Amino acid sequence: MIRLEKRPQPSRGWSYVTPVLAVLVTMVAGGALFAVLGKDPVLAIRTIFYDPLFGEFAWYFRGQLLVKAGPLILIAIGLSLGFRAGIWNIGAEGQYIIGAICGAAVGLALYPMEARWLVFPLMILAGVLGGLGWAMIPAILKTRFNTNEILVSLLLVYVAEQILASMALGLLRNPEGSGFPGSRNLSQYEAAANHELIAGTGMHWGVVAAFIAVIFAYVLLNRHMLGFQIRLTGQSPRAARFAGVRPNRLVLFCLGTAGALAGLAGMFEVSGPSGQITIDFNSGYGFTAIIVAFLGRLHPVGILLAGLLLALTYIGGEAAQSNLGLPAAAIQAFQGMLLFFLLAVDMLTNYRIRIGKSEVA
C-alpha cells in the first residue's frame, strides 16, 4: 500500500527538484496530448523547447525570449511578494494595462517634444503610478472594508480592459491614423521609445528593470525586516501580529509593489515591443505571471528561471502552431499542465511516499 507521510520539516532538496520534475512530467503528458492530436510528440516537444534556442531560426527566437520573459518576470516578482504574505493579487493584468495607458498618455501628451531625458523618465513614473493606483483600489477596499482582494483585483481587470478600449478609440487615438483605432506608435517616437539596447538580444529597459526587481526582491526577502515580516505573515498570521506586523500596511505594500511593477511592465511594453495602445494591447502577461510566480516557488531566482521557461513555451508554442499546425488551445493546455503538475509534485516537498504496511501515527 502506498501512503504519504508528513516530513518533520520541508525537504530542501525536493523543493529544488520538484520544478524540474514538473517540467519533465509536463513534457511526457504534453507529448501524449500531441500524439492523440495526431502529431509526432517528439517533434512537437522539440519544436517547443529546443528549436527556439538551438534550431535554424534561433537567432530570431532568442531575442524574443527576453522580450516575452521580461514583463513576466517583472510582474511575477511583484505578485510573489504578496503571495508570500497571503495577499492574493489576481489583477496584475489590469494594473499592467493601466500602467501602459498612463505611460503612453504621458508620452503622447508630450509629443513631439525631443527631450528624451525628460519624456522617458516621466513615462516610467506615470506607468509606475498608474499600476500602483489601480492596485490601491483593492488594497484600500481590503484594509477599510475587509473586501476580498482576489475578487476586487480580478474584476478590475475587466474594467481596465474597457478603459483600454475606450482610450484606443478615443482619447489616445492617433490623430494622424485616418480614424483607425490605436494610438501613435511610440516606438517610432524617438524620445519615448523603449529600444532594444543590444541589437538581436531582445534586451530592453523592461528586461533591465526585471533583473533589478529580481535582485531587489532577493535582498528584501532574505536580508530585510520587511521581507521577514512578509514571510512571517504568510506562514503564521497570528505570530506576525504578535511580532508587531501591521497587516494593513503589509496589504498596501504588497499590492502597491505588485501594481507598480505590473504598471512598469505595461509601460515598457507599450513603448517598445508593442509600440502603441490598441484595443487588444494586453496579451495575458498579468495572468501568466501568476503561473510564473508559483512555478518559481515564489523565490526571486526561481521566478527568473520560470519566466524564461514560460517565455520559451510561448515562443515554441507559436512555432509549433505555425510549423506543425497544433491548435492554440493545445498549447494553452500544455502551459496549464505545467502549473498543474507543479502543484501536484509540490507535495513531495512536505510529504514522503512510503510503500508498505499502513500505520497511522
Residues that bind another protein (CB under 8 A): 8-10, 223-226, 228, 231-232, 235-236, 238-244, 246, 357, 359-361
| Between 3 and 246, CB nearer to another protein | 246
Grid coordinates given for 91? 489583477
In this structure, the number of other CB atoms found within 10 A of the CB of residue 270 comes to 32
> Least separation, in Å, of the C-beta of 86 and another protein?
13
How far is CA 236 from each of CA 57, 219, 225, 245, rounded to the nearest angstrom?
Answer: 49, 22, 16, 11
- Note the Cα 208 to chain centre separation in Å: 15
Whether the CB-CB separation of 31 and 49 falls below 8 Å is answered with: no
Nearer to another protein, 236 or 332 (CB): 236
Nearer CB in complex with another protein: 129/221: 221
Amino acid symbol at 302: G
Q: Look at residues 214, 259, 234, 249 and name the one whose alpha carbon lies nearest to residue 90.
A: 259
Of 226 and 305, which CB lies nearer to another protein in the complex structure? 226
Q: What whole-number distance in Å separates Cα of residue 29 and Cα of residue 338?
A: 10
Q: How far is it, in rounded angstroms, from Cα 113 to Cα 122?
A: 12
Q: How far is the CB of 235 from another protein (least distance, A)?
A: 5
Residues paired with residue 4 on neighbouring β-strands, in sequence order: 353
User: Minimal distance in Å, beta carbon 246 to another protein?
Assistant: 7
All three cell numbers of 156, joined, read 478590475
Nearer to another protein, 50 or 351 (CB): 351
Distances in whole angstroms, Cα of residue 286 to Cα of each of 49, 68, 79, 154, 165: 23, 12, 9, 11, 17
Is the CB of 55 or the CB of 237 nearer to another protein? 237
Tell the smallest beta-carbon distance from residue 217 to another protein (Å). 15
Least distance CB 234 / another protein (angstroms): 10
Shortest distance (Å) from residue 358 CB to another protein? 9
Q: How many CA atoms lie less than 13 Å away from 83 in the CB half-sphere? A: 23
Angstrom distance (rounded) from CA 308 to CA 67: 10
**Which C-beta is closer to another protein: that of 5 or that of 280?**
5
With 0-12 / 13-18 / 19 or more C-beta atoms within 10 angstroms meaning exposed / middle / buried, residue 10 is exposed
Minimum CB distance to another protein, residue 309 (Å): 27
Q: Phi and psi of 282, rounded to 5°?
A: -75, 140
| Grid cell of 47 as nine digits | 519544436
Question: Can you tell me which residue has the cell 524574443?
Answer: 64
Closest approach of another protein to the CB of residue 278, in Å: 42
Please state the closest distance from residue 219 (CB atom) to another protein, in A: 9
Nearer to another protein, 41 or 247 (CB): 247
Of 176 and 357, CB closest to another protein: 357
Q: Which amino acid is at 98?
A: I
